[in-house]
Amino acid sequence: MLLLRNADVYAPEALGRRHLLLGGGKILWIGADEPVLPESLDVDTIDLDGARLVPGFIDGHVHVSGGGGEAGFATRVPAPLLSRYTMAGVTSVVGLLGTDDATRSTAELLSHVYALREQGLSAWGYCGGYHVPPATLTGSVRSDIALIEPLIGIGELAISDHRSSQPTLDELLRLASDAHVAGLMSGKAGIVHLHLGDGKRGLDLVRRALDTSELPPRVFQPTHVNRKRALFEEAVELAKRGCHVDITAFPVEEGEDAWPADEALVRYLDSGAPPQRVSISSDAGGCLPCFDGEGRVCGMDVGHSGSMLETLNALLARGLPLERALPAFTSNVAGLLRLAGKGRIAVGMDADLVALDAAGRADLVLARGGVHVRAGAPVRRGMFER
């Protein structure tokens, strides 16, 4: 058991100074007055001395087995290591396949999801990848989602991108229907997580899917929606129709036709779109390539979960209240993906907690009650980390 004293709690709403008792991976008690506990309980204590305590971040778009490969096999990105998540305040991840769903498989993805769980994080995944027909383990996305516990939807299916398989409306509707029905059968999210490229068609395929089918808008979650300013405006309108949209915390050059994640979130919140229908993810482990006019890679970066904490600090620096910024990193993601026990600080919830120091760094990180980061340094590392 662990007692956290003198925490300035954001649940994500501001609760003020509180003490928290943790045990069995859960939050057992929260109160304004410090409890008197019998010595026989042998409770460890950490005094946060007024530090801000927030829910652990849920990174909903992670290449847990590595991404990349668009410029040859040597450009395949390695899988991120455990402390790359925890040092960024990330305690839950959702893994996926991207461009390379040929040499990387659903089985490999699942093995990395299970490995992260063994190391103390919470992890799930999507079946499929960029292309149609989607990569699966059972031969059917409906069976994958319904029968394989960690798989909660399809992703990241690519549209409006020269690397996609150019899916038709009928193909998208069939996949979305399979995801939705499998979600109903299993109590999972059952969504289609859609990679958006730079193509001029933008979100037209999703609009047509909403216009011509009975599927709930929540089934469609476009990501990378801030990569083009016009695309972002389309995404905001879809959110008003009931879709959930995901902003990517990738680097944006000055003058580029894109919105940095902090600017995109502020614009979204000011647009009048439902505040619960937006999230921020990192694309950790995935390559961030640029292409020339002939579709060849002309530059490459790699996403990392630390971009989420950087984005949160950028939002705070521009004056957005912490309680207004946090849902996009925590409760909104848990709500869409139906991740029970995640995204909030409350009695009975999982003890996924991050204490931020004065500079906005992750000073203390607990995942399911286990201490991963303390005094800003990792105390638990992955098997192959030095």
Nearest-5° angle of CA 27, CA 340, CA 267?
Answer: 100
Q: How many CB atoms lie within 10 A of CB 33?
A: 7
Instruction: Tell me if the domain spanning 56-337 has CATH number 3.30.70.260.
Output: no
Q: Quick one: pLDDT at residue 287?
A: 73
Q: What are the DSSP calls for 184-237, one per residue?
A: HHHTS--EEEEEE-S-TTTTHHHHHHHHH----GGGEEEE-TTSSHHHHHHHHH
pLDDT value of residue 288: 66
Question: Across residues 240-256, what is the average pLDDT?
Answer: 94
Distance in angstroms (rounded) separating the CA atoms of residues 270 and 286: 30
Give the pLDDT score at 226.
97
Neighbours of 36 (CB within 10 A): 5
Kindly list the catalytic residues: 283
CA atoms of 105 and 343, how far apart (whole Å): 29
Q: What is the mean pLDDT of the chain?
A: 94
The confidence band for 265, taking pLDDT boundaries of 50, 70 and 90, is very high
Rounded to the nearest 10 degrees, what angle do helices 204-212 and 229-241 cross at? Answer: 20
The percent of residues in the chain predicted with pLDDT above 70, rounded, is 97
Higher pLDDT, 384 or 221: 221
- Comparing 328 with 163, the larger pLDDT belongs to 328
Greater model confidence, 386 or 30 = 30
pLDDT, tens only, 164-213: 999 999 999 999 999 999 999 999 999 999 999 999 999 999 999 999 99
| Distance in angstroms between the alpha carbons of the first and the last residue of the chain | 28
Mean pLDDT, to the nearest integer, of 228-257? 96
Between CA 332 and CA 259 the distance in angstroms is 20
Per-residue pLDDT of 85-144, as tens digits, reads: 999 999 999 999 999 898 899 999 999 999 999 999 999 999 999 999 999 999 999 999
- Mean pLDDT, rounded, for 307-312: 97
Whole-number Å distance between alpha carbons of 123 and 305: 14
* CATH superfamily to which 2-54+341-378 belongs: Urease, subunit C, domain 1 (2.30.40.10)
Residues of the chain with CATH 2.30.40.10: 2-54+341-378
Q: What is the band of 338 on the pLDDT scale with cuts at 50, 70, 90? A: very high
**Residue among 44, 42, 9, 38 nearest 369 (CA):** 44
What's the rounded mean pLDDT across residues 364-368? 98
Window from 6-20, 274-288, 329-343, 352-366 with minimum mean pLDDT: 274-288
Residue type at 186?
A: S
Known binding residues: 61, 63, 195, 224, 283
Does the structure show a pLDDT above 80 at 34? yes
Confidence at residue 299, expressed as pLDDT on a 0 to 100 scale: 64
Average pLDDT of the residues in 296-301:
66
Residues 6+ apart with CB under 8 A from 300: 68, 70, 71, 75, 287, 288, 289, 290
Q: Is the dihedral of CA 11, 344, 353, 106 positive or negative?
A: negative
pLDDT band per the 50, 70, 90 thresholds, residue 290: low
- According to the model, what pLDDT value does residue 291 have? 62
Task: Summarize the annotated binding site for Zn(2+) as residue ranges.
Answer: 61, 63, 195, 224, 283
What confidence tens digit (pLDDT) does each residue in 68-84 have? Answer: 777 788 888 888 999 99
Looking from the CA of 154 toward its CB, the CA atoms found within 13 Å total 30
pLDDT in the model for residue 301: 66
Is-contact 175 192, C-beta < 8 A?
yes
Helix (H, G, I), strand (E, B) or coil at 79: coil
Boundaries of CATH 3.20.20.140 in the chain? 56-337
- For range 347-374, the mean pLDDT: 97
Tokens 């299993």 correspond to 186
- What's residue 75's pLDDT? 81
pLDDT tier, 42 (very low <50, low <70, confident <90, very high otherwise) = confident
User: pLDDT value at position 369?
Assistant: 96
Q: What value, to the nearest 5°, has the Cα angle with vertex 64 and ends 63 and 67?
A: 40
Query: Dihedral sign, CA of 310, 284, 371, 4?
Result: positive
Average pLDDT of 267-278? 98
